[in-house]
Amino acid sequence: MTRSHRPALALALACASACGAPPSHHDPRAVLAGGSAVASFLPSAATEASAQPLRRPAAAQVADVPPPIPRQRAPDHVRGIYVTAYAAASPRRMPQLLALADSTEINTFVVDVKDESGVLFESADPGVRAVRAGWKRPVGDLRKLADTLRAHDIWSVARIVVFKDPVLSKTRPAWSIRTAGGALWRDKAGNTWVSPWDERVWSYNLAVAEEAARAGFDEIQFDYVRFPEAYRSLPTQVHPRAPAGARKSDAIAAFLQRASERLRPLGVAVGADLFGLAMNDPGDVEIGQQWETLSVRVDHLYPMVYPSHYFPTHLPGVRHPNRMPYETVAAAVGMGVVRNDRLRHAGGAPARTIPWLQAFDAPWVDRHFPYGPQQARAQMDAVYAVGLEDWVFWNAASRYDRVAGAFAREADPRARPYRAPAPVLRQLARFEGWGMRAARAKAVAESPEKQTLRQGDEALP
């Protein structure tokens, strides 16, 4: 989307652990290394009275034209950055980020409205406010924030951390993952999680999402929409409400399906963050994120393909992932592109793929390879090389000065025709026999939207 007229505007990241955890919202490297509604969570009268979703034409303009599907309202070419709630609320940092968008191709902000510390805005919903009551939240007026983004022609994405929620877990321990002995289960960092199988957790998060939608955000993005890693050194996870014999991917798919059904009528698109490895594994990466299963249930999928998060064994021909940003992103996302093509050919309607890219150094992997404009540009070019137009950069402190030189002035089309190389096709051929074919067929059968195949379509590679 080209923006020829933009408003003019004047112009410390702490490690997650003592050993230097990655400055990102997930660490997928470790994975392969080792219904019911709650009444108090329904939108309140004050919430119902708030602004309608943005960018919706007036009724007089569309009397005989059906409203667009939410995903169709997104920019033609999504070029985005992640913004913390604290940066969004800062009178110093937010003008700087808006100025970056006004002067470059950046047209999308992914803004925290709920993270591991809780809901980050002053909610009007009493059920939401009751969790961590009395805490001073950084964003006082969510509608004002959405209005500011709209004034700068920015596609606003509300990021919601779902199941990694130690605050909700401690407030509602009955909704939490347990150990076999009945105690609250904890991950390696000591965090408790709520269970993806508990629909009360779904309702709480969807209440937050609905409030963000009614405040004027264009899209809701669910992060940590997964199960925690089941390391052998940790106790077995017990989910009190899990059906017997059910698969993890069933819980994640059911939540995202419910989210889409509740949120799309409000005029917002629905997205989900996934491990990048979800594209590079035939199964669910042991956390419930199976690519085909989730692709048919949301509008946008955001795979995290940070080069620093890959091992040398994860991708064919990529022996030094952090030092090979182009090759890493091209191989990882290329597999997702082919998988979506096959899903579409089989009759499914896959989500739009918008990769998360790396805008941070990774000293825990390589102390002498900083990420600047050259590395950012290499990742962007890899996205274009596999036929996609979209990307969002992640920096946990929302600081993009070091990569901003890679951003163009306008969000022009740059995708190129993609023909998957032989190593990628060989890897996917193995995946077909390891469950990917069956998962694709199941996803198509369960898909709320199905594509109609044209006669004469040839088999995809």
Please spell the DSSP secondary structure of 5-49, one letter per residue: --------PPPSSTT---SSS--GGGTTT-----GGGSPPHHHHT
Question: Which distant-in-sequence residues (6+ apart) come within 8 Å of 291 by Cβ?
Answer: 274, 278, 279, 301, 336, 339, 439
3-class SS of residue 270: strand
Nearest-angstrom CA–CA distance, 187 and 237: 10
Stated pTM of the model: 0.86
Nearest-angstrom CA–CA distance, 346 and 450: 9
Query: What is the amino acid identity at position 371?
Result: Y
Domains of the chain are 74-446 (3.20.20.80)
**Residue-by-residue pLDDT tens, the chain, 461 positions:** 445 434 433 333 333 333 334 444 655 444 444 333 333 333 333 333 333 333 333 333 434 556 678 888 999 999 999 999 999 999 999 999 999 999 999 999 999 999 999 999 999 999 999 999 888 899 999 999 999 999 999 999 999 999 999 999 999 999 999 999 999 999 999 999 999 999 999 999 999 999 999 999 999 999 999 999 999 999 999 999 999 999 999 999 999 999 999 999 999 999 999 999 999 999 999 999 999 999 999 999 999 999 999 999 999 999 999 999 999 999 999 999 999 999 999 999 999 999 999 999 999 999 999 999 999 999 999 999 999 999 999 999 999 999 999 999 999 999 999 999 999 999 999 999 999 999 999 999 998 776 443 333 334 44
**Both structure tokens of 283:** 């199964």
**Both structure tokens of 303:** 């795979």
Give exposure, 193-217, as e/b (b: 16+ Cβ within 10 Å): bbbbbbbbbbbbbbbbbbbbbbbbb
Query: What is the amino acid identity at position 290?
Result: Q
Nearest-angstrom CA–CA distance, 439 and 433: 11
